[in-house]
Chain A
Amino acid sequence: MSQKIPTRDGFGHELVELGKTNNKIVMVSADLEDATRAEYFKNAYPQRFFSVGIAEQDMVGTAAGLSLLGFTVFINSFAVFLTNRAYDMIRMDLCYNNCNVKIICSHGGLTVGEDGASAQCLEDFAIMRVLPNMKVVCPADELEARKATRAFAQTFGPMYMRTSRAALPVITKPEDVFEIGKANVLREGKDVSIIACGVMVSESLSAANILAKENIDARVINMHTIKPIDAEIIIKSAQETQAIVTAEEHQINGGLGSAVAEVIVKKCPAPMEMVAVNDSFGETGTPEQLLQKFHLKDVDIVDAVKKAIKRKNKI
C-alpha cells in the first residue's frame, strides 16, 4: 500500500492507451477536462476532442448524436454537475436511446475535500442506478480504474464511472480480473462480509485487519460495479458469513447499501449494517478529516461489523 494515486489518473492514462488502437473513441467535454484527467486524451488526440464549454446538458446530447454514427463517446465532468444537472439528458438521450456513451465523473464523495458540499457528489450511485440500460462502476484504485476504462470502451451502452480526486492506495493486483458486474473477493473470512466500493475498499481492508486482532474473521468484497450488482456473491456471502456490512462514500439511501439490501431482503435475509453518509451534505475539510467526521473510517466499519454480528441469529 505504499503508492497512492487518484483513480481519475487511471482513467486519463488508460483512455490515451485505448485511443492508440481505437480511432472510434471520441470525447465531448464541458471545461473540466483538466480536473477529470480527460485532458490527457485531449492532448493526445485533439482532433477527436470537442469542448462545448460549461454546458453539461449540451455535452450529453452532443455525445448522443456522435454515438449514433458509431463512435464510442466519453464525456466527463464532476459527478455533481453531470449526473445531477444533466439528468434528463442522461435519462432520455443516453439511456432511453441506449447510446454508446461513457460518463466518467471525478470528484465523487466527500474526499473531494476543501471545495465543500456543492462539489461533493453523494447521490450519483442512487440516481444513476435506477436508470434502465445504465451500468454503474466505482473503481477502488488506479489500477482498477484503468481496467474499468478498458471495459467501458469494449462494452456497448451507456455507463457511469465515478473516479476520485483523492489519492488512494493501490490495493488490487495487475492479475485481478475486472469484469463489469462481477465483484472481487479481496480477503476471505467467515464471520462477516464487508462489501465496499471506491475509497471505502481500502478502509474495509484496514477494518478487517483491526477485526482480526479481535478474532473476528472478515471477508472483504470489492463491489466495483453497483449496477448490475453481483447478486451471486452477495447471496453466497450472506449464507456463509450470516452478517453483511456495506461501506460507501455516498448517501445512505439509494446507493451500494441499498443495492445490496435489495438482494439480501429478497434472497437471503441476514443482519446488515450500512456505513455511508447519513442523509446530509458534506462540508469543507481535508479528505481524511471528512471521512472521520462523517464516520466513514475503518473504525466505523469495525463498529458496524460488531453491530451486525450481535444481531446474528436474531432474524
Chain B
Amino acid sequence: MPVENIDIDALKAKALIYRKEILEIVTSAGCGHPGGSLSAVEILLSLYEYKIRHNPQDPKWSDRDRVIISKGHITPAVYVTLANSGYFSKEELKNFRKLGSVLQGHVVTKVPGVEFNTGSLGHGLSVANGLALGAKMLKKDFNIYCLMGDGEIQEGSVWEAAMTAAHYKLDNVCAIVDYNKVQENGPVEEIKGLEPLADKWKSFGWEVREVIGHNFKQLFGALDDFGKIKDKPFVIIAHTIKGKGVSFMEGDRNWHGKAPNLEQLKEALKELEG
C-alpha cells in the first residue's frame, strides 16, 4: 500500500488497543513479558498492517512473507497482533499462558501466523537466513523479517548469522532490532553495551537504517528502503522505549518479565486512555 494512503491516526488507535490488550492478557495470566511487548507494538503494526505480504485466512500460503520472532518472549504483543490481524479469534487471548492453550508462554507454530518456535535468544537470524537462501534457490520473491531484542544481540550466534547474511548477499532478509535499551537485569549499556550499534552492523556488511520505533512514518520509510537495496542484508535499528505508554513501566527493568496486578492494570489502562 502506498504510504500516503495509510491512515496513521487509525494505526495509532490500533496501537492503543494493542497496548491495552497486552496488559490485560499479561494481568490475566499473572505472568509474561510486558516491557518488550509494549516497545514492539508499532514495529509489529508496521509489519502486519503495512509491509508484509500475507493472508490471515491462509497462514501457510507459500508466497507469504515470513516474520521470525527471535525475541520469542514477547508473546503478548505477537498474539495480540495476530489475533487482531485475523489469524485466530480474539476470544482465545484470554487463554494466554494457560494449560492446554495454543498460546504458549513463548511463541509456537501451533498459533496460526507464527512461523517458528523460539524462546531461547539468538536463534532467529540464522533461521531467517536459511529461509532466505531457500527462497533464492526456489526463485521465490517473498521476504523474511526477523525481529530481535537489543539484549538478544549480545548472543554471539547473532553475529555468526550476521556474517552469513552478508556473505550470501541476502537482500531478502530484513532484521529489526527493538532497541529499547533495557534488558532483564538493567540498562543494556551498563550490562554489556552495544554501541556503536549501527557501525557494528555496517562493518558486518549490512545496510542500516535508524528510526524512532514508535513513529509509523519513520518505520514505513525504513521498511520501504528495504527491497530497494540489492545484494546486502538490511537492518532497522528501531529506537524504542521499554514499557512504552505506561509511565510506571517505561525504562524500568522490573517490567521485563512481570505482570501487573489488577490495581496496576487499572492505573495503566487509565493512563493509556488518557
> Are A66 and B157 CB-contacts (below 8 A) given A93-B123, A97-B109?
no
- B138 partner residues in chain A, CB cutoff 8 A: 69
Q: Are A55 and B164 in contact (CB under 8 A)?
A: yes
Cα distance A93–B109 in the bound complex, in angstroms: 12
Interface residues of B in 154-206 (CB under 8 A from A): 156-157, 160-161, 163-164, 167-168
> Which residue on chain B has the smallest CB distance to residue A26?
B137
- B134 partner residues in chain A, CB cutoff 8 A: 26, 65-66, 68-69, 71
Cα distance A47–B138 in the bound complex, in angstroms: 12
B46 at the interface (CB under 8 A from A): no
Cα distance A67–B130 in the bound complex, in angstroms: 8
Q: Are B123 and A89 in contact (CB under 8 A)?
A: yes
Cα distance A190–B130 in the bound complex, in angstroms: 52
Interface residues of B in 125-149 (CB under 8 A from A): 125-135, 137-138
Task: Give the contact stretch, choosing among A56-64, A163-171, A255-263, A279-287.
Answer: A56-64
Q: Are A65 and B132 in contact (CB under 8 A)?
A: yes
Q: Are B132 and A97 in contact (CB under 8 A)?
A: no
A177 at the interface (CB under 8 A from B): no
A295 to B: closest C-beta gap in Å: 38
Q: Are B120 and A88 in contact (CB under 8 A)?
A: yes
> Are A62 and B116 CB-contacts (below 8 A) given A69-B134, A93-B123, A93-B127?
no
Q: Are A61 and B163 in contact (CB under 8 A)?
A: no
A57 to B: closest C-beta gap in Å: 4
Q: Are A62 and B115 in contact (CB under 8 A)?
A: no
Cα distance A85–B190 in the bound complex, in angstroms: 28
Interface string of A94-131 (1 = CB under 8 A from B): 00110000000000000000000000000000000000
Q: Are B163 and A64 in contact (CB under 8 A)?
A: no
Q: Are B126 and A65 in contact (CB under 8 A)?
A: yes
Q: Are B168 and A55 in contact (CB under 8 A)?
A: no
Q: By the criterion of a CB under 8 Å from any partner CB, how many residues of chain B are at the interface?
A: 32
A40 at the interface (CB under 8 A from B): no
Q: Are B157 and A89 in contact (CB under 8 A)?
A: yes
B215 at the interface (CB under 8 A from A): no
Q: Are B133 and A62 in contact (CB under 8 A)?
A: yes
A92 at the interface (CB under 8 A from B): yes
> Are A55 and B160 CB-contacts (below 8 A) given A50-B168, A92-B118, A92-B119?
yes
> Which residue on chain B has the smallest CB distance to residue A58?
B160
Residue A96 contacts which of B117, B122, B133 (CB distance < 8 angstroms)? Answer: B117
Interface size class of A (residues with CB under 8 A): 20 to 34
Q: Are B161 and A61 in contact (CB under 8 A)?
A: yes
Q: Are A50 and B117 in contact (CB under 8 A)?
A: no
Interface string of A23-64 (1 = CB under 8 A from B): 000101000000000000000000110101101011011111
> Are A66 and B133 CB-contacts (below 8 A) given A55-B163, A92-B117, A97-B117?
yes
Q: Are B119 and A61 in contact (CB under 8 A)?
A: no
> Which residue on chain B has the smallest CB distance to residue A50?
B133
- B133 partner residues in chain A, CB cutoff 8 A: 50, 62, 65-66
Cα distance A47–B124 in the bound complex, in angstroms: 24
Residue B116 contacts which of A50, A57, A71, A97 (CB distance < 8 angstroms)? Answer: A97
- A97 partner residues in chain B, CB cutoff 8 A: 109, 116-117
Cα distance A183–B137 in the bound complex, in angstroms: 38
> Are A66 and B131 CB-contacts (below 8 A) given A61-B126, A96-B117, A97-B116?
yes
> Which residue on chain A has the smallest CB distance to residue B155?
A57
Q: Are B157 and A58 in contact (CB under 8 A)?
A: yes
> Are A92 and B115 CB-contacts (below 8 A) given A57-B126, A65-B134, A66-B130?
no
> Are A62 and B117 CB-contacts (below 8 A) given A50-B133, A68-B131?
no
Q: Are B126 and A62 in contact (CB under 8 A)?
A: yes
- B116 partner residues in chain A, CB cutoff 8 A: 64, 68, 93, 97
B98 to A: closest C-beta gap in Å: 20
A203 to B: closest C-beta gap in Å: 39
A46 to B: closest C-beta gap in Å: 12
Q: Are A63 and B130 in contact (CB under 8 A)?
A: yes
Interface residues of B in 197-255 (CB under 8 A from A): none
Q: Are A64 and B109 in contact (CB under 8 A)?
A: no
Cα distance A278–B115 in the bound complex, in angstroms: 43
A30 to B: closest C-beta gap in Å: 10
Q: Are A65 and B160 in contact (CB under 8 A)?
A: no
A59 to B: closest C-beta gap in Å: 8
Cα distance A244–B123 in the bound complex, in angstroms: 43
B71 to A: closest C-beta gap in Å: 14
Cα distance A57–B128 in the bound complex, in angstroms: 14
- A57 partner residues in chain B, CB cutoff 8 A: 122, 126, 156-157, 160
A257 to B: closest C-beta gap in Å: 30
Cα distance A244–B170 in the bound complex, in angstroms: 54
Interface centre among A69, A89, A97 (most CB of B within 10 A): A69
> Which residue on chain A has the smallest CB distance to residue B162?
A58
A–B complex contacts, Cβ < 8 Å, 19 sampled: A47-B137, A50-B168, A52-B164, A55-B160, A57-B126, A58-B163, A61-B157, A62-B161, A64-B116, A65-B129, A65-B133, A66-B133, A66-B134, A68-B127, A88-B123, A89-B123, A89-B157, A92-B118, A97-B109
Given contacts A58-B129, A65-B127, A89-B157, 11 further A-B pairs with CB under 8 A are A26-B137, A57-B122, A58-B160, A62-B164, A66-B130, A92-B117, A92-B118, A92-B120, A93-B123, A93-B127, A97-B116
Across the A-B interface, give the 5 residue pairs with the lowest CB-CB distance, nearest first.
A65-B130, A61-B126, A58-B160, A69-B134, A55-B160
